[in-house]
Amino acid sequence: MISLIIGLSLSICAIGVLYYLNYQLEKKLERNNKALLALHKEFTQYQISEKRSYEKQTAKLEIRFDNVARAIKKNEDFINAVNQKHKDLPNIIRKVIGHIEFAKPINKKTNV
C-alpha cells in the first residue's frame, strides 16, 4: 500500500513537472513565433524598399538615355538642316572668288 502511495505521488509529481515543462515550451514557442513574424515583416519591408530603389534607379537611367537620344536626334536634325541649306556652298564660294579674282582694281596706282 505504501508503494502505491509513493507511486501515485511520484506520478503526480511527474505529471506536474511535465505540465510545467509543457507550459514553458509553449511560452518559448510563442516568443519564437513572434520573433519569426517580426523578422518576416522586416525582411518583406527590406525587399519592398530594395525593389523601389531598383525601379527608381532604372527610371533615372531610362530618362537619362531618353535625354541623350533626344539630344543626338536634335543635333542630327540641325546638321541635316545645315547641310540642306548649304548644299551648294562650294559653288557659291567659287562664284565669289571668281568675281574677286577677275575684278578690276579700285586703285590703279597700287593695283589694290
Structural domain includes residue 96: yes
Residue 72 to residues 66, 75, 79, 80, Cα–Cα distance (Å): 10, 5, 10, 12
Structural domain includes residue 108: no
pLDDT tens-digit series, residues 18-66: 999 999 999 999 999 999 999 999 999 999 999 999 999 999 999 999 9
pLDDT tens-digit series, residues 65-85: 999 999 999 999 998 888 887
Structural Rg of the chain based on CA atoms: 47
C-alpha cell at 109: 596706282
Structural domain includes residue 37: yes
pTM greater than 0.85: no
Cα separation of 18 and 72, whole Å? 79
Based on the structure, what is the number of domains in the chain? 1
Domain that holds residue 15: 2-101
